[in-house]
Amino acid sequence: MPARVLGLALVLMTAVMSLPPPAARAESWQRQSLWRRTDSQHFAVHYLPTLAGDVERVVRSAERAYEHVSGRLAFAFGKQVPLVVFASTGPLTRDEVVAYATSDEVAPQQPHRSRIVLPLPDRDAALDALIVHELTHLLVCEIILPGQSGDGGLPRWVHEGLATYMVGTWSDGHNRLMRDLVASGNVPDLSRLSGGGEFADDRLNDALGHAAFDYMESRWGRGSVRRFVNALIVPRVGRTYDAVLDLTPAEFDVAFRQYAERRFGPAVR
């Protein structure tokens, strides 16, 4: 995802940092006080003056993302979402951005911990994708653990795959990963990854999860994705698939593997 390349995208997070010397803290505080805020219907956008000219496009992108993700998940967040945007080459260090983003100026630590912090991409399409991805994380976590930190112990293929699925576009790299998995006969049993399973290659979490949620939508309709998320609110490791999709975990694995082979296997001419 773009945030990994640019270096920082934070959702539902807290930071622990050592304090710099007093003189450095004073200088840092002067820079921190430059932050501005503008409110839209669903977001409180925090930014530095150097990004004032970009605020309108950030708000448009954020509101589009909210309509898309909240509509697909049938879930409305009860508060404005704090959104901190910064330039990756801006006047503040990464630690200074994190310090402001996790301060009460953005959102109190308790009971409301949710916030999105992201570097501002140049291209609108990249901005749209990044906000959709991070907002999906935030809203899904609020469904599963309202007002709390963490991701509910979701396997990373669920956590990252769902966010990638919401963005909706397939990169060449993710397509290649799926085709390689199918060609090698190594499409894994996703049901066995419940309770914290993940792949060593982060891209596999994104690509396999994206494919799995595409499959759910194609077979059971868009509403099946929210039903699947609902089933994760209460730990049901052995019951999620049969409760939501009327398949045993083993049957889901077989059906998903067949779907992946049809979609990502060699074209029949």
pLDDT at 41 over 50: yes
Is 269 part of any domain? Answer: no
Band (pLDDT 50/70/90 cuts) for residue 31 is low
Give me the pLDDT at residue 231, please: 83
Last residue in a domain, options 112, 144, 176: 144
Task: Report if residue 242 sits inside a domain.
Answer: yes
Note whether 13 and 96 are same-domain residues.
Answer: yes
**Average pLDDT taken over every residue of the chain:** 83
Determine the residue type at 219: R
pLDDT interval class at 32 (50, 70, 90): low
Domain count, the chain: 2
pLDDT confidence bin for 13, thresholds 50/70/90: very low
Same domain, 116 and 44: yes
Cβ proximity of 123 and 114 under 8 Å = no
Is the pLDDT reported for residue 29 higher than 80? no
Confidence band for 5, pLDDT divided at 50, 70 and 90: very low
Residue 104 is part of which domain span? 2-144
Band (pLDDT 50/70/90 cuts) for residue 190 is confident
Residue-wise pLDDT for 244-267, tens only, equals 888 888 899 999 999 999 999 986
Same domain, 11 and 110: yes
Q: Write the secondary structure of the chain as one string of H (helix), E (strand) and C (coil).
A: CHHHHHCCCEECCCCCCCCCCHHHHHHHHHHHCCCEEEECCCEEEEECHHHHHHHHHHHHHHHHHHHHHHHHHCCCCCCCEEEEEECCCCCCCHHHHHHHHCCCCCCCCCCCCCCEEEECCCCHHHHHHHHHHHHHHHHHHHHHCCCCCCCCCCCHHHHHHHHHHHHCCCCHHHHHHHHHHHHHCCCCCHHHHCCCCCCCCHHHHHHHHHHHHHHHHHHHCCHHHHHHHHHCCCCCCCCHHHHHHCCCHHHHHHHHHHHHHHHHCCCCC
**pLDDT tens-digit readout, 46-102:** 999 999 999 999 999 999 999 999 999 999 988 899 999 999 887 888 889 988 998
**Among candidate residues 144, 172, 188, the one where a domain is terminated:** 144
125 and 10 within one domain: yes
133 and 164 belong to one structural domain: no
Residues 119 and 194 in one domain: no
Mean pLDDT lowest among 19-23, 116-120, 156-160:
19-23
Same-domain check for residues 192 and 132: no
Same domain, 239 and 122: no
Give yes or no: residues 68 and 20 share one domain: yes
Query: In sequence order, what are the beta bridge partners of 37?
Result: 46
* 243 occurs within a structural domain: yes
The reply to whether 6 and 131 lie within a common domain is yes
The closest alpha carbon to 142, from 57, 66, 218, 195, belongs to 66
- Quote the pLDDT of residue 12: 40
Listed residues 97, 118, 144: the one ending a domain:
144
pLDDT tens for 128-172 read 999 999 999 999 988 888 777 666 677 888 889 999 999 999 999
Whether 89 and 48 map to the same domain: the answer is yes
